[in-house]
Structure 1
Amino acid sequence: CICLKSRCMCLPDCSTSHAESILYQIRKEEHQNEAKRHQQCHGPPHSTARSHCACVDERRVVLKTPGATCSTASGVLLKTLTFVRSLPSFYHVPWEDRFVLIQQNWAPLFVLGLAQERMDFDLREVLGPSLLKKILLNQSSTASNEPGSASLGTSLAEVQKIKNLLWKFWDLDISAREYAYLRGIILFHSVKTSCPKMSPLRTKLQQEAQQVLMELISTMFNRNLSRFAWILQLITSLHDIDADAIEELFFRSILGELDWL
């Protein structure tokens, strides 16, 4: 109590006032929600039935050193396209079909180029606005779902898929000749096209690239073709990579919002 002119005024206890404040309740709710999400992701110790972590899909990341990394990535993409244009077999298909091949397969070719150049990259997480900030700034709680919010980084789950594939390629220690044939296999991979002339030729070129790669691996590894099977599995995984995620992570800061491919 504080006595003021012989009149006592009792102030509420600070901890009680703080606990009942609106801002404190907001912060408490944020903390509880974060703890709940973390528990859902990691589960109890020694849990054997762990479901897919939803918060990994929600987390977004950007390059830690975008200037240097984007410059190196641009060099990898340029080398990849230069190699493709130097293939004589590439010019056996009509020019409009060449455009389709590059448009459909540039992303897996680019990731393969990252693997060959052994290009690793560091990330930092993009933290979205907190609930408290949204309230203070009068922002909608659904603002993160509005168009344009994807510019706040790339999905961590998609970037992890890229990194996991890179590590698998590096573990196999693939040679330069193997990478060359892999590009041919990926370039002439099955694409959705209405052109009836393209499918038979594309299939033939892809089969030829696979045959040459299999013969090379058989010679280099004493006819042990398990390596060939592992590499083909990696190629299939390459086509599961989201091209939009690659564009957002490595090229958005350079090319802006242009529809460049």
Structure 2
Amino acid sequence: MATLEGCRCRSASTRNNSSILYSILKSDSLVTAEEPQQHQQQHSQHQTLQHLLLKGSSSSSSSSSSSFSSSGPGSLQELRQQACSCGSTRRRGVLRSPQVTCKAASAVLVKTLRFVKNVPCFRQLPEDDQLMLIRSGWAPLLVLGLAQDRVDFETTETVEPSMLQRILTGVPDRQSEILAGQTRVAVGVSVVDIEAIKAFLKKCWSVDISTKEYAYLKGTVLFNPDLEGLRCLHYIQALRREAHQALNEHVRLIHRDDSMRFAKLLIALSMLRAISPLVVAQLFFRPVIGAVNIEEVIMEMFYGK
């Protein structure tokens, strides 16, 4: 079982159970069970989220874009580079029903932050580590939540003008807009990025991931030891290992006839890591509230700052 030497990150619940990941399962179950009894509270949290998002919409898109970093592996970037040079990389998509989809994504974000708050071993980490883990994990946790709640969405395609089209029509390119101090950016996100998100959702639904499996996957995503500067690196590494081991044991116990199930879940995780937080923010929040630093909104919601 993972232990945290010097950080005192062991709650009372972990002393009574064989694994600290019990608190992750308990947290996820608590979030699910609380929903019918806490409808009013969730409505209030939605109002708070909308208030924070609208308050942040006055931020410039350039500062918003610089606050994000793509934490996924290079495979998605390579996929973009392999696209045909005739302009297919300029294909972009927008939500067909942005109000409906963004509202659903906001609900999942609220639920995701409640899940993280209810994990004792996370809240007892040093605050610097908490900040790093949230910044690294909010987007993949959100997409996992979309899969668990079976939130589907439709997009419609739009095409970003090519350089030649911009010259002929007199439309300035993004570099010129930045130099001119304008905040307008290209509409929508890359079709490649949208397809990556939808492929992940379909993968989860085809595997029919259970509630416990989602909880272990969330633990794997939340406790990310691959970040530079973590103070409790070894403890977080141990939690990641426990999540993998617990998931593997659960699959072997419950799905004895499906020898490939654990491998399928690992493939889903690799697909999830290829999704950029910037893309998630632009697709699910930007259409309704415009340019906003979503990380600042999340920090304010989580810590009440």
Tell me if both proteins adopt one fold, taking TM over 0.5 as the criterion.
Answer: yes
Corresponding residue to 1:236 among 270, 275, 290: 270
Aligned-pair distance for 1:149?
5.7
Give yes or no for the alignment of 1:53 onto 2:87. Answer: no
State how 1:131-170 maps to structure 2 within 5 Å. Answer: 135=168, 138-140=170-172, 143=173, 146=176, 147=178, 148=183, 150-170=185-205
User: For 1:115-153, what per-residue CA distance to the aligned partner results, in whole angstroms no more than 9, with x for missing partners?
Assistant: 1111111111224458778645x335xx25544564411
Shift of 1:98: 0.9
Measured on the aligned residues, the alpha-carbon RMSD in Å equals: 2.3
Specify the alignment match of 1:246 in structure 2.
280
Moved more, 83-92 or 175-184: 83-92
Q: 1:74 to 1:127 in 2, by over 3 A?
A: same
1:144 and 1:111, CA in 2 relative to 1: closer, same or farther beyond 3 A?
A: same
Output the amino acid matched with 2:131.
F
Q: Does 1:186 align with 2:221?
A: yes
**Distance in 2 (alpha carbons) for counterparts of 1:132 and 1:167:** 36
The match for 1:39 is: none
Moved more, 87-96 or 158-167: 87-96
Counterpart for residue 118 of structure 1 = 150
User: CA 1:80–1:135 in 2, change beyond 3 Å: closer, same or farther?
Assistant: same
Q: Which residue of 2 aligns with 1:214?
A: 248
Residue 172 and residue 127 in structure 1: after superposition, are their counterparts in 2 closer, same or farther (change >3 A)?
Answer: same
- What's the offset of the Cα at 1:257? 2.0
Paired letter, 1:241: I
Describe the SS at the equivalent of 2:294: coil
> SS of the residue aligned with 1:228?
helix
In structure 2, distance between residues paired with 1:158 and 1:149: 20
Query: 1:241 Cα deviation (Å)?
Result: 0.6
Please, which moves more after superposition, 153-162 or 227-236? 227-236
Given residue 166 of structure 1, which amino acid in structure 2 is its aligned partner?
L
Are residue 71 (structure 1) and residue 103 (structure 2) matched?
A: yes
- Identity over aligned residues, as a percent? 36
With the length of structure 1 as denominator, give the TM-score of the two structures: 0.72
How far off its partner does 1:260 sit? 2.4
Unaligned runs of 5+ in 1: 1-50
Q: Which position in structure 2 is the counterpart of 1:226?
A: 260
Q: Please point out which of 74, 80, 83 is paired with 2:115.
A: 83
Contact 2:90–2:159 (8 Å) recurs in 1: no
Cα distance per residue 1:78-107 (max 9 Å; x no partner): 111111111122123112211110101111
Q: Deviations over 1:169-215 (max 9, x none)?
A: 111000111101110011112332223x3210110111111111111
Deviates most, 175-184 or 126-135: 126-135
Letter in 1 for 2:204: F
Partner of 1:176: 211
Structure of higher CA gyration radius: 1
How far 1:52 moved relative to its partner? 3.4
Structure 1 residues 88, 257: closer, same or farther in 2, change over 3 A?
same
Give the structure-2-normalised TM-score: 0.62
- CA separation of 1:134/1:226 partners in 2, compared to 1, >3 Å: closer, same or farther? same
Question: How far, CA to CA, are the matches of 1:170 and 1:111 in structure 2?
Answer: 13
Shift of 1:224: 4.5
Q: Give the partner amino acid of 1:211.
A: Q
Length, aligned pairs only? 207
Q: C-alpha distance in 2, partners of 1:60/1:149?
A: 15
1:61 counterpart letter in structure 2: G
